[in-house]
Amino acid sequence: MIEALQKSWWTVLVRGILILLFGLFALFSPGAVLASIIFYLGFVAAISGIFTIIGSIFSKDEGKMTGVLEGVIYLIIGILFIASPMFVLASLVYFVAIWALISGIMQIIYAIKLRKVISSEWIAILSGVISIIFAVVLFSNVVASGNAVVMVIGIFAIISGIMYIMLSFKIKGLGKS
């Protein structure tokens, strides 16, 4: 197994370089990466919808119409992603913001109710406050919020790419010491 790994060490290196390049691109051009992801998901959904519809129409199953309906939904979602990527981005960011806001409020309410039972309720209150601040930041600028998420993914990809590159040279050097 070690010999097989050593012979293909360069594949791990290439993978690391590609991940690193993606991370750099995401970090320095998050808007382009975000748009690419939204368009890609739109095309995948639309094509999946088309093939689901075709497969259902030619199916001999009783649930043919369910498959057609599923395909139509995928197709509509795909077209929405392609035709209105900003709407999709805004919807996603607003969903996360509303979730964070509700979560933060509920954390604070529960912490206040539990303060007679627990001694460190301030931790739950602080967590709730941070969630509310996060929601406000998301609400304040949808595009910047989407870009920030992509940049965080970029940072993760850079770190991951560097680790893969380091691993590839470790694999290459196996058995030489």
Q: What is the mean pLDDT of residues 106-117?
A: 88
How does residue 126 score in pLDDT terms, banded at 50, 70 and 90? Answer: very high
Token digits for 102?
Answer: 């509700």
Cα 173 to Cα 177: distance, rounded to the nearest angstrom: 8
SS (H, E, C) 69-116: HHHHHHHHHHHHHHHCHHHHHHHHHHHHHHHHHHHHHHHHHHHHHHCC
Cα 88 to Cα 61: distance, rounded to the nearest angstrom: 34
How does residue 164 score in pLDDT terms, banded at 50, 70 and 90? Answer: very high
Neighbours of 126 (CB within 10 A): 14
Q: Give the per-residue pLDDT at 72.
A: 97
Cα 113 to Cα 34: distance, rounded to the nearest angstrom: 41
Q: What is the mean pLDDT of residues 122-150?
A: 90
With contact defined as beta carbons under 8 Å apart, do 167 and 12 qualify? yes
Dump pLDDT digits (tens) for 53-95. Answer: 999 998 887 778 998 999 999 999 999 999 999 899 888 889 9
Sign of the CA dihedral with 22 first, then 25, 30, and 36 last: negative
Asked if the model's pLDDT at residue 130 lies above 90, the reply is yes
Q: What is the mean pLDDT of residues 150-174?
A: 93
Cα 27 to Cα 156: distance, rounded to the nearest angstrom: 10
Dump pLDDT digits (tens) for 31-52. Answer: 899 899 999 999 999 999 999 9
| Residue 2 CB-density burial (10 A; 0-12 exposed, 13-18 middle, 19+ buried) | exposed
Amino acid at 30: P
The per-residue pLDDT of the chain, averaged, comes to 90
